[in-house]
Amino acid sequence: MGVQGNTLGACYTVLGFKSIPFSITPDTALAFPGDQYVRAYHQLHYASMNGSLAVLSAEIGLGKTLVVRCLIRALPANVKVAYVLNPLLGGEALLREIYSEFNGGAAPPAGTDSNLNQLLVQKILQGAGQGHKHVVIVDEAHRLSADALEVLRLLSNLETEHTKLISLVLVGQPELEKTLGMRSMRPLRERIAIWQRLQPMSRVECAAYVRHRIAQTHSDGQFGFTDAALASLHWRTKGVPRRINLVGERAILLACAQKTRRITWGMVWEASNEFSKAWK
pLDDT digits (tens, 9 = 90+) for 92-136: 889 999 999 998 888 777 656 668 888 898 999 999 999 999 999
Question: Quick one: average pLDDT of 51-69?
Answer: 96
pLDDT value at residue 4: 46
Average pLDDT of the chain is 91
Model pLDDT for residues 101-112, shown as the tens digit of each residue: 998 888 777 656
Domain boundaries, the chain: 9-30+201-279, 35-197
Task: Note every long-range contact of 111-114, with CB atoms under 8 Å and residues 24 or more positions apart, other chains counting.
Answer: none
- pLDDT over 70, % of the chain: 95
Report the C-alpha gap between 140 and 236 in whole angstroms.
26
Report the C-alpha gap between 270 and 4 in whole angstroms.
27
CATH (one of 3.30.420.40, 3.40.50.300, 2.40.30.10, 3.40.50.10490) for 35-197: 3.40.50.300
The closest of 100, 99, 87 to 169, measured between CA atoms, is 87
Alpha helices in 75-197 (DSSP H): 91-102, 116-129, 146-155, 175-180, 186-189
Whether domain 9-30+201-279 has CATH 3.40.50.11540: no
Contact between residue 184 and residue 146 where contact means Cβ atoms under 8 Å apart: yes
pLDDT at 278 over 90: no
Q: Binning pLDDT at 50, 70 and 90, where does residue 7 land?
A: very low
